[in-house]
Amino acid sequence: MSRLSILGIIPARAGSTRLKNKNIRPLLGKPLVMHTIDAVLESDCMTDILVSTDSDPIKEMVAGNSKIQVHDRPAGFATERATVVSAILDLMKGSEKKYDVITYFLPTCPLRNAADIKLGVERLGEADSVISTCFYDAPIQLAMIQGENGSVYPMFDNLRGGLTNSKFIQKHVKPSGGFYMSGWEDVLQSGHFFNGKIKEVLLPKERVVDVDTAEDMIVAEQIAKRLQQPEAEA
């Protein structure tokens, strides 16, 4: 089978309300967004790589790299309420070049690595879409919805039935934010990346972090330092 043509997008807007300038904040001495850029480059799986941003510092970071193109993210798709997928769809509709597959990588998930990306691309041969996933920290069957005046009520029947021992409750996964991969035309038609037969790349808990706050950055730094250390001798 011939190699798929794949466009890899790294969306990195300038604005962030919970952690100002988070995409350029240092993680192990390197801007947060560069951890994702380096992983995508190292994977060597992308036909083309676009960093979609409205941030001048980020544009300057990648300006000298011939393997990366910069997409000027329109102001209307760089607001707090604008979704990543809406910005990607706008980019796709304006693109003169078409690809077999489109994929995007959130810079707020810096611990996904090149091997994860390679595995995701490999699984595209068996599926229409591939998503990086991780386990929920707690069973979703124990979820409760908060109402008014301190009221809560169970979402599922587990709590009413007393089925609360997590050891015996089926585990569920969620998208980790590491990457989303799907067919170009499928995404254009559906407006999302969950198309057809979907396969996962389950990331281990010790490499899953989503940086939204200063506390998240501290956790990411601690994990990243630990991952850099050689395994302790037995």
* DSSP letter string, 190-234: HSSS--SSEEEEE--GGG-----SHHHHHHHHHHHHHHHSPPPP-
Q: Which CATH architecture has domain 6-133+174-227?
A: Alpha-Beta Complex (3.90)
Give SS3 for 10. strand
Fill in the DSSP letter of residue 102.
Answer: E
For CATH 3.90.550.10, the residue range(s) in the chain are 6-133+174-227
Each residue of 152-165: pLDDT tens digit? 999 999 999 999 99
Q: Give the C-alpha separation, 107 to 225, whole Å.
A: 18
pTM: 0.91
pLDDT category of residue 234 using cuts at 50, 70 and 90: very low
Cα three-residue angle 146-151-152, rounded to 5 degrees? 50
Per-residue pLDDT at 18: 73
> Could you tell me the sign of the dihedral formed by the alpha carbons of 96, 8, 209, 155, in that order?
positive
Mean pLDDT for the chain?
A: 92
Each residue of 129-181: pLDDT tens digit? 999 999 998 999 999 999 999 999 999 999 999 999 988 999 999 999 999 99
